[in-house]
Amino acid sequence: MIGKTVTAAAMAVALLAPVVSVGSLDGTIASLQDRLRAVPDDWRSSASLGLAYVAQARVTGDPSWYPKAEGILARSLRVNADDNVEGMLGLGVLDLARHDFSAALRSGRRAAALDPHGAEAYGVIGDALLELGRYDRAFRAFQTMVDTRPDLSSYARVAYARELVGDVRGAERAMRMAFGAAGTPADAAWTAYQLGELAFGSGDVRSARGWYARGRELDPSYVPNLAGLAKVAWARGDDGLAVERFTDVVSRYPSAEFVVALADLYRATGRQVLAEQQDDVVRAMHALASESGVNVDLELALFDADHGDPAGALAAARAEWGRRQSVHVADAYAWALYANGRFARASTLAERALALGTRNALFLFHAGMIRFELGDEQGARRCLSAALATNPNFSIQHADAAAITLARLEVGR
């Protein structure tokens, strides 16, 4: 009976009344912190707080929340190391956010072993495998996830898997299922953005505009849809409106992706000084992320290759390729090699990037430019026209170069 009593007392922690948190993330964090001051061993609450810190990093764009998340998740797992699914999933989410995909894979597998009926662990496992370039296994994890629990989270992953293998229509179908299963305006707005991106990425500016606008309507505070509308403005030739919107976006949510877009837009419209200011912002963001334990080598490789630091690009790409061989890393590595004039090796990597059949205009553009430098005019023509056929607005920086190079090839025919 003593054993039973001890169990019950331990259970009392688990049975504590919930930390009710409807509303702001700040409020959630404050109430979880209060709870942990009162009951330091409440491992569920410390796991929750760890996730809240990861969420806070995303919402604020401030990666210094990640070390805090790491600390509190470690505390949760110290109190309960045996069957702490929440803590293990929290760790997996943190690993993914910091781009440590091997660690995420381990955390996800531990969580799945603890609770094979929960779909979340398969999401962590699949996300990690995907980024590690182990696509067959990743897709199997996603299939298990959606067969365990068909919902927005698993449908969205099915959509991404289909997109990667070049099935854009199938991806759109799955993402529409995700949209239909959205339970909150915020989730619906996220899904609308994904649908907008799918449409934009396949050159359908009109549909993209519809989805971004729908997402704005659903949750005006979800900034990426405004960035989508900024891209639409640029694609339609209204650079002024595009700058206005991107400026609004980055003032509200400093994501490197959108700052890069603003910089490119300034450069494309001849405002070199403003562009370089934004370039510096991107570099500062990468440095800050790196200091907080986020691996940004993939991002650095592409950015440096495009912004006059070929040596830095190649070092970052090589380092990342050593960790994982995904199509995205292959593409960045190829582009870094191109920037260093190593076209033959670049061509091999560019083929790797396209091996899944992904209809990604940027990949195709990179492959086309590499072939062009190698003197493979036919290959260059094929890749560049495929890039422009897939999405003529694939890059603020490069779309014109693709069209010009293709035109030169056609003239020289």
Provide the b/e sequence for 273-302 (b: ≥16 CB within 10 Å). ebbeebbebbbebbebbeebbbbbbbbbbb
Give the footprint of another protein on residues 367-386 (CB under 8 A): none
Q: Determine the interface stretch with another protein among 123-131, 265-273, 308-316, 398-406 (rule: CB under 8 A).
A: 123-131
The DSSP 8-state label assigned to residue 357 in this structure reads -
State which residue, 137 or 376, has the beta carbon closest to another protein.
137
Task: Name residue, tokens 């570099």.
Answer: 283
The yes or no reply on residue 85 touching another protein (CB under 8 A) is yes
The yes or no reply on residue 184 touching another protein (CB under 8 A) is yes
The yes or no reply on residue 4 touching another protein (CB under 8 A) is yes
E-strand spans in 178-310? Answer: none
Give the footprint of another protein on residues 157-176 (CB under 8 A): 157-158, 160-162, 165, 167, 169-170, 173-174
Task: Name residue, tokens 């698993």.
Answer: 154
Q: How far is the CB of 339 from another protein (least distance, A)?
A: 15
Give the footprint of another protein on residues 341-360 (CB under 8 A): none
Q: Distance of CA 112 to CAs 16, 128, 142, 143, Å? A: 25, 14, 13, 14
In the chain, the amino acid numbered 351 is E
CA distance 174 to 152: 9
The yes or no reply on residue 134 touching another protein (CB under 8 A) is no
Q: Name the token pair of 397.
A: 């920086």
State which residue, 10 or 407, has the beta carbon closest to another protein.
10
Task: Name residue, tokens 């920086």.
Answer: 397
Q: Determine the interface stretch with another protein among 264-272, 297-305, 310-318, 373-381 (rule: CB under 8 A).
A: 297-305
Among 263, 302, 327, 350, binds another protein (CB under 8 A): 302
Among 33, 64, 148, 290, binds another protein (CB under 8 A): 148
Q: At CA 27, angle to CA 26 and CA 30, rounded to 5?
A: 85
Give the footprint of another protein on residues 248-277 (CB under 8 A): 253, 255, 257-258
State which residue, 93 or 380, has the beta carbon closest to another protein.
93
Does the CA dihedral 106-108-110-113 come out positive or negative? negative
State which residue, 99 or 381, has the beta carbon closest to another protein.
99
Give the footprint of another protein on residues 210-239 (CB under 8 A): 214, 217-218, 222-224, 227
**Contact predicate 100/295, CB 8 Å:** yes
In the chain, the amino acid numbered 329 is V
Give the footprint of another protein on residues 5-64 (CB under 8 A): 5, 7-9, 11-12, 14-22, 25, 28, 32, 35, 42, 44-45, 47-48, 51-52, 54-55, 58-59, 61
